[in-house]
Chain A
Amino acid sequence: RKEVEQDPGPFNVPEGATVAFNCTYSNSASQSFFWYRQDCRKEPKLLMSVYSSGNEDGRFTAQLNRASQYISLLIRDSKLSDSATYLCVVKDYGQNFVFGPGTRLSVLP
């Protein structure tokens, strides 16, 4: 079983739509969780950290379910500029970051 799994997509949605991505991780000892965004041929950039209580940043909401080892990202009112690959990232107790394969999103006009 892969350490971090995501649906690769692509998700093709119209502008203004709400889209949700899911991610599961296998290491129950994982300590920190993140969503990164990666544009084509660019480096990954942090979108948001994910906290147990859930957190929101503008149009983006992240949720963590430790019991189910499941992380989600919700994007409301999608913009064309949201088109990218979204990477689920899990950090273990030490210093290792494990990346999921990413979910590709295309927001269409």
Chain B
Amino acid sequence: ETGVTQTPRHLVMGMTNKKSLKCEQHLGHNAMYWYKQSAKKPLELMFVYSLEERVENNSVPSRFSPECPNSSHLFLHLHTLQPEDSALYLCASSQVSGRTEAFFGQGTRLTVV
């Protein structure tokens, strides 16, 4: 099993649809992250879960709703998105303390039509 797995890899959805992105990590980490990467822009931190508790929410619109049922799984629920939400959504995991790096999944490339 790869360290961090994201599904689906590609997603096209209409503005009225509801969909969910899934992330699973097999590294025994206790922190998980959602990042957004738009074209030619740096990674933007969206949400952080530490020990299954949300600790960061960077003014993300409510049409994005995260869920972390356990330390290995992370979801991003999407509804009534806008075309400008089209981007690469990356999940990462790490250990809360120490100098451990973040490991990324391959991302979900989302297109909102």
In the complex, the answer to whether A95 meets B99 with C-beta atoms within 8 Å is no
Question: For this complex, into which size category does the number of interface residues on chain B fall?
Answer: 20 to 34
Count of CB-CB pairs between chains A and B under 8 Å: 54
* A98 proximity list for chain B (CB < 8 A): 45
In the complex, the answer to whether B101 meets A96 with C-beta atoms within 8 Å is no
What's the dominant secondary structure at chain B's contact region? strand
In the complex, the answer to whether B101 meets A46 with C-beta atoms within 8 Å is yes
Asked if A94 is an interface residue, CB under 8 A from chain B, the answer is yes
Tell which of B50, B99, B109 touches A49, judged by Cβ atoms closer than 8 Å.
B99
User: Which residue of chain B has its CB nearest to the CB of A98?
Assistant: B45
Q: Which residues of B contact A (CB under 8 A)?
A: 31, 33, 35, 41-43, 45, 48, 50, 55-56, 88, 90, 92, 94, 96-97, 99-107, 109
What are 16 A-B residue pairs whose CB atoms fall within 8 Å in the complex? A32-B99, A32-B100, A42-B106, A43-B90, A44-B90, A44-B104, A46-B102, A49-B99, A87-B42, A91-B99, A95-B31, A95-B48, A95-B55, A97-B33, A98-B45, A100-B42
